[in-house]
Amino acid sequence: MTAPIARIEPVVFTDHGVLRVDPYYWLRERENPEVLEYLKAENAYCDERLAGTLSLQKTLYGEITGRIQETDQSAPYAYGEYLYSTRLESGLDYPIHVRQLADGPEEVILDVNKFAEEHSYVEAAFQPSGIAPGQRLLAVPVDTTGRRIYTILLRDLDSGNYLEERIRGATSNLAWANDGRTLFYARRDPVTLREHQIYRHVLGADPAADELVYEEHDEAYTCWVFKTRSQGFLMIGSHQTVATEYRFLPADTPQGEFQLFLERQRNHEYHLDHAGSHFYVRTNLDAPDFRLARTSCEPSEPAQWEEVIPARPGVVLEQVELFDSFCAVLERAEARSSIRLLNHTNGSETGVTFDWPTYCLRLGDNFEFEASSLRYELSSPVEPLCVFDVDLLSGSSELRKRDPVPGGFESSNYRCERVWAPARDGTRIPVSLAYRPDLAAGGELPLKERPILVYGYGSYGISVEPVFEAARLSLLDRGFVHAIVHVRGGGELGRAWYEGAKLMTKKNTFNDFIDATDYLVAQGYASPERTSAMGRSAGGLLMGAVMNERPELFKAVVAGVPFVDVVTTMLDDRIPLTTGEYDEWGDPADRELFEYMLSYSPYDNVDPVAHPHVLVTTALHDSQVQYWEPAKWVARLRATSNGSGEILLRTDMKAGHGGASGRYKRYLDIALEYAFLVAHVYPPGGVV
């Protein structure tokens, strides 16, 4: 079977006097039957080219599912008078959410598998109507397309029936008022899918008549609604890349009007929360890596704020969670997280730290305001997720659950490391590594001859956490080294780390990834002949950029839902996310920013060179990176490549940005990606 050839129909653009020609612009015609047939032809070609790996895919899938506790239940957490948990059952794709009184039977409140009986894609969540006894309603937002447009269902837990009311065209973001009858929820702009409106629904009313209580008219902002853990206030937040703004309303008076707390100001990001008689403000005003202040529960100016936690050099105040007697602070320094517990009553402080080389630390399910302990989650590349409760008074942590890993897994068989790779400008780049040292010690596959998979992201100030993934063991057990390069553009080392690779410094993200990969090979962590790379979304942009810059560096690349057509997308304000991301990538109305984006946009810089083997994945209903970006990129790569590298496109015709919703389908997707990598970078004659 020959590779599909996309029809060439050039569209000419002239921006700032720069002539651009897009030969595959027509692929954006979502409803065009020719487009759908082309995507199906690409899928068929991908299947044909990977047919030789079917046995390996089956083996990998068996290994992955063999390491998953198919029937499992999460550690229960308290919310009001109930304990809630989530159960997975063997053979079922989706979770079953349950709750029970301390001395009562288990009650199924939401079985997502029921929706999956009628839909091939399902995302569903739930929100109880309140913590007070007698509040027996459940709001259930459900998405059956992957476009992140939800219908909110209302379930009466006494009868088990769903009410006739259906709130359509919403998001999954919602909050109940304290009366248990008034629901606030967000809607998206139907064209750009920007979350831009907050509505108020009263139980029993026609959803078509719901009241619009807030609309975000600035196209660079999105908005959302939530209720504070204290149950005291409903909040509406507005967010743009470099600014936020909050409005508040007492949760006991849901028919009131939201008040503005502090007017938005460019380069001022803050988060508002409530405890006792104060609003608490985590703010970056005069503190790039944030500090904590408090003020009275009314509109306020910064001059009125009282300092609670001052800014500290080199320490990022990532998250602050408030409780009646203490606050929990998640901090990050040198790309490592820790927790501080500050007691409001006696002023004491308890620290939670770890000496693992690299790990992921997160705050867990903490819904009770009057709590005496804090739940947190800890994992590493070689240690499964562990759920702990730390006691506020003693500071001791109690393990509540460690994710089981069937199949004879022993964490002591694996090693994780943190190394620092030098970038070309002298910056030290943190890299998280995982591998099996016993394979090298036994002489089976010396480290310097190993295949390596290098992963990266590097945008939006998002930190890539070195978490445990049971599926990844299939690579480590085959001798792979897995490396996460924490490139600039992420948040691992604070605001400066993010600012150091955005707008006119974005290329630092790509340079860091290349330089770190070169360093790992030079230090003997892997073979230069067996080096592969992976990234998703903005990480897919990273893949495209480094392929253009150094096409010989990687033997195989997996690019998931890649953002590769930067300039054309940023010029089209009808596309979701565009207007809200001018401060991330640049407003192309500015000639300097336009030319800089054009200089690295993967789709616009494909040269006639020998490209690596490339597997590109996308989804027809992706609401964040439209399917046509990767489809166009693959067409151009294939048309210009003068090497023998395999260039494949796989489109999920029923999913969105996050891929398949069912867990078993996701395992199949992982097995396919891993088989592609193994087939192209594994040592000849190696046992696969």
Q: Which residues are known to be catalytic? A: 537, 622, 657
Beta-ladder partners of 236: 225, 247
Residue with tokens 């640049």: 586
Distance of alpha carbon 21 from alpha carbon 19, whole angstroms: 7
DSSP E strand stretches across 541-680: 556-560, 613-619, 647-652
Query: Is residue 198 a contact partner of residue 241, using CB atoms and an 8 Å limit?
Result: no
- HSE toward the beta carbon, residue 62, CA cutoff 13 A: 6
Distance of alpha carbon 323 from alpha carbon 342, whole angstroms: 10
Instruction: Tell me whether residue 201 is exposed, middle or buried, using C-beta atoms within 10 angstroms of its C-beta: 0 to 12, 13 to 18, 19 or more.
Output: buried
Report helix angle 663-681 to 54-66, nearest 10.
Answer: 130
The DSSP call for residue 140 is E
3-class secondary-structure state, position 294: strand
Q: In what order do the strands lie in the sheet with 326-333?
A: 316-322, 326-333, 336-343, 349-352
Residue with tokens 């390996």: 56
| Residue 215: both structure tokens together | 């609309």
Distance of alpha carbon 81 from alpha carbon 175, whole angstroms: 19
The DSSP call for residue 357 is S
**Helix, strand, coil fractions of the chain, as percent rounded to 5:** 25, 35, 40
Distance of alpha carbon 566 from alpha carbon 29, whole angstroms: 18
Distances (CA, A) of 100 to 69, 84, 97: 23, 7, 11
3-class secondary-structure state, position 118: coil
Distance of alpha carbon 527 from alpha carbon 529, whole angstroms: 5
| Residue 62: both structure tokens together | 């068996």
Residue burial 34-54, b: 16+ Cβ < 10 Å; e: rest: ebeebbebbbebbeebbeebe
